[in-house]
């Protein structure tokens, strides 16, 4: 397979994973919606729930029983649907994009190891343990990817430009992604409270000041989802400009010959959870956004 087609498949796979994340968000939200309405319609004012508090050596769960007042349980489902679900979704979006970048860099460096540069050094032990020159390239590439993983999005963009001559800072969606990744980091490392690091990394897209709670709701998830799709498509096009993909060209030709529509990611429901909020709808994606097409291309 040509390097162009390899890169196309990597970006296509990431797009499929983004679509899959959107689908899962819809299914989970729908499940919360159904359960919340069942609780709301229950004649009981106290509802008993069992949940695990440990795991026994015989591989059975140790269960605890709790009695919830109806409104208390509804508020729990409300929290899960409107706060926990989008927060978890944001983490997954960043993971998908980070993995895509890593796969792209790895594939290009393995194809063109000279891009590592003459000044890059690896430990002598790694060289002595290598079984082939390709093994040396793999170890050097792994070291490079490890370095890139610890860079801020802005530093990563500069490093990628030096390696691949692709300037992510020219992509508007990447600047939104920088804020998204900073938000992900805050939810993982600082319990959702912004700090100076968040403000610095998010730059002009910072949504709150330091020491303020950083909101993540369904609308933010949908906006982030769209930004990740735009970034994916932008990178796919830039890679195609440098390393032509016959598969992408064929897909574009097929797309121009047919009009493919897709339903909104999260639709309004007549049965909403307890706070009576309605989830937002996204714009209908373009033809290239067809999940079915992504699945076919990924086969």
Q: pLDDT tens digit string along 109-122?
A: 889 888 876 566 66
The whole-angstrom separation of Cα 146 and Cα 128 is: 21
Contact 112, 4 (CB under 8 A): no
Query: What percentage of the chain exceeds 90 in pLDDT?
Result: 68
Give the pTM: 0.83
Q: Over pLDDT 70: what percentage of the chain?
A: 79
Stretch 274-281: mean pLDDT = 47
pLDDT for res 153 = 86
Tell me the C-alpha distance between 160 and 78, whole Å: 41
Query: Sorting pLDDT into bands at 50, 70 and 90, what band is 151?
Result: confident
Structural domain total, the chain: 1
Residue 269 pLDDT level (bands cut at 50, 70, 90): very low
Q: Give the domain extent around 71.
A: 3-298
Please state, in angstroms and as integers, the Cα–Cα distance from residue 7 to each residue in 2, 22, 114, 232, following that order.
9, 23, 18, 12
């Amino acid at each position: 397979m040509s390097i162009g087609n390899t890169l196309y498949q990597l970006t296509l796979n990431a797009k499929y994973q983004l679509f899959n994340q959107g689908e899962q968000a819809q299914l989970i939200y729908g499940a919360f919606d159904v359960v919340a309405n069942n609780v709301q319609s229950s004649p009981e004012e106290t509802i008993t729930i069992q949940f695990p508090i440990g795991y026994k050596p015989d591989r059975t769960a140790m269960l605890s029983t709790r009695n919830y007042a109806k409104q208390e349980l509804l508020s729990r489902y409300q929290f899960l649907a409107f706060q926990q679900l989008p927060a978890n979704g944001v983490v997954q979006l960043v993971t998908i994009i980070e993995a895509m970048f890593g796969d792209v860099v790895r594939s290009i460096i393995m194809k063109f190891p000279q891009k590592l540069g003459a000044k890059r050094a690896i430990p002598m032990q790694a060289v002595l343990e290598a079984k082939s020159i390709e093994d040396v390239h793999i170890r050097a590439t792994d070291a490079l990817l490890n370095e890139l993983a610890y860079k801020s999005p802005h530093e990563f963009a500069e490093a990628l430009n030096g390696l691949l001559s692709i300037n992510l800072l020219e992509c508007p969606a990447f600047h939104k992604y920088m804020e998204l990744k900073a938000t992900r980091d805050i939810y993982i490392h600082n319990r959702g409270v912004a700090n100076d690091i968040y403000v610095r990394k998010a730059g002009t897209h910072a949504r709150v000041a330091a020491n303020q709670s950083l909101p993540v709701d369904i609308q933010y998830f949908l906006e982030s989802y769209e930004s990740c799709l735009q970034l994916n498509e932008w990178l796919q096009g830039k890679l195609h400009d440098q390393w032509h993909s016959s598969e992408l060209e064929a897909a574009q030709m097929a797309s121009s010959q047919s009009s493919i529509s897709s339903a909104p990611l999260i639709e309004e429901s007549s049965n909403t959870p307890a706070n009576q909020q309605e989830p937002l709808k996204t714009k209908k994606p373009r033809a290239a956004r067809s999940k079915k097409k992504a699945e076919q291309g990924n086969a």
